[in-house]
């Protein structure tokens, strides 16, 4: 997508009520990808079910490939994308874990596959509810990752995914993440877009290199000797860096079409906040509600809701925290890294602050594991503790669980 796309078609909003899975499936129908290999796993199972219904009804001509496992689903996706077909799939939790080897191959082969990930905790113990351990577990596989707060964002993020991943400056696979059951199954009001503007926005997939291109031989996934492998990995990393620029360009064009604006993150009442909470996914809605209540009581608090996790917008986050002038920051992780000191965001955000020479107290909180409730009262408690830390009344805990039964 060009930096200045003057041909973006504005779309009329269509009010509807849908679950997150329905919204993503509706977006898939509008995009009409060439191939969808998939294997069912809760809570993403509805997506291939709905897409297969669209196919059976003649609404799309996507080639649906039923496979025997998620490993096979990603293998088939790699094969289809390598052959020049626009390809997507869907999974959750252990399904993503079973794709592990193939995730790395998809990224290193620079294949812009779209994977809608309905976040669910990884075993064990066995649990089917939401946390971010599946997506965060794949954070170093080379995939772009975008997270949604609600059903509207899940729909909007999916439509933006293909122009991001398929941009010649990027050509990397992308995960479009939403919280299992919380958004995937809950029904909310949503504003859909018309089919034709969406199709024009996404455009046709026309890769420069692909296996079934007559007269132009290419190799996909060959053995790479030491003299070349490191350069390939650097090129892959550079593409991830460029993805940040493309994400913002695509968001600008999407705003022209839909009237809805997106960036790396959302700053909610942060402009004069003494205390900030950085959070990702559906729990951001709970945090915003608590912030509104606390503001009415005279507390200067705000939320920075992270949308893009890969590429990680380290400098932009640090600048937003500096711009707010806050005294302390709560960094919220919906998974555990098992490194003995923090979750993933609890490691990456303080590192970014340090590199930007911004000194502010941070506390890493682990919350909502395996679907544990995260409430407005929890947010109140966290902000109260931040205030104590900033005043020197309490030593900042490095790594603390919220809602844990003692």
pTM here is 0.96
Rounded CA separation 369/14 (Å): 35
Bridge partner residues of 275 (DSSP): 301, 328
Rounded CA separation 282/183 (Å): 7
* Contact in structure between 198 and 29 (CB atoms under 8 Å): no
Q: Over the stretch 307-320, which tens digit does the pLDDT of each residue have?
A: 999 999 999 999 99
Rounded CA separation 335/83 (Å): 36
Q: What is the CATH number of domain 265-401?
A: 3.40.50.920
Tokens of 382: 């966290």
Q: Over the stretch 260-301, which tens digit does the pLDDT of each residue have?
A: 999 999 999 999 999 999 999 999 999 999 999 999 999 999
Q: Residue 3: pLDDT above 60?
A: no
CATH superfamily label, 14-258? Thiamin diphosphate (ThDP)-binding fold, Pyr/PP domains (3.40.50.970)
Domain residue limits, the chain: 14-258, 265-401
**What is the band of 1 on the pLDDT scale with cuts at 50, 70, 90?**
low
């Amino acid at each position: 997508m060009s930096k200045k796309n003057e041909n973006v078609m504005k779309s009329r909003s269509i009010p509807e009520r849908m679950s997150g899975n329905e919204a993503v499936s509706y977006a898939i129908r509008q995009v009409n990808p060439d191939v969808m290999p998939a294997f069912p796993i809760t809570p993403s199972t509805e997506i291939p079910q709905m897409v297969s219904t669209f196919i059976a009804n003649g609404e799309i001509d996507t080639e649906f490939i039923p496979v025997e496992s998620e490993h096979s689903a990603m293998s088939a996706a790699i094969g289809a994308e390598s052959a020049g077909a626009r390809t997507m799939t869907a999974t959750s939790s252990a399904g993503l874990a079973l794709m592990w080897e193939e995730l790395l191959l998809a990224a290193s082969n620079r294949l812009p596959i779209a994977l809608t990930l309905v976040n669910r905790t990884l075993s064990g113990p066995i649990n089917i509810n939401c946390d971010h351990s599946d997506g965060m577990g794949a954070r170093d596989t080379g995939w772009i990752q975008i997270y949604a707060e609600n059903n509207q964002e899940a729909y909007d993020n999916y439509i933006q995914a293909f122009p991001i991943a398929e941009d010649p400056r990027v050509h990397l696979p992308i995960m479009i993440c939403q919280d299992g059951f919380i958004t995937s199954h809950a029904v909310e009001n949503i504003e859909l877009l018309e089919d034709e503007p969406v199709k024009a926005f996404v455009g046709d997939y026309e890769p420069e290199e692909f296996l079934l291109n007559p007269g132009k031989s290419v190799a996909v996934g060959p053995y790479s000797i030491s003299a070349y492998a490191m350069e390939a990995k650097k090129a892959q990393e550079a593409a991830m860096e460029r993805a940040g620029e493309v994400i913002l360009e695509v968001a600008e064009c999407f705003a022209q079409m839909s009237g809805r604006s997106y960036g790396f993150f959302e700053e909610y009442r942060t402009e004069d906040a003494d205390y900030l909470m950085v959070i990702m996914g559906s729990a951001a809605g709970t945090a915003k509600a608590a912030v509104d209540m606390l503001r009415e009581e005279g507390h200067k608090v705000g939320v920075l809701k992270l949308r893009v996790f890969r590429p990680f917008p380290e400098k932009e986050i640090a600048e937003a925290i500096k711009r707010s002038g806050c005294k302390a920051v709560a960094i919220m992780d919906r998974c555990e890294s098992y490194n003995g000191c923090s979750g993933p965001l609890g490691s990456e955000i303080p590192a970014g602050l340090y590199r930007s020479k911004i000194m502010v107290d941070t506390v890493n909180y682990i919350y909502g594991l395996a679907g544990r409730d995260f409430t407005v009262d929890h947010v109140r408690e966290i902000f109260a503790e931040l205030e104590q830390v900033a005043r020197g009344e309490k030593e900042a805990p490095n790594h603390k669980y919220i809602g844990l039964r003692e």
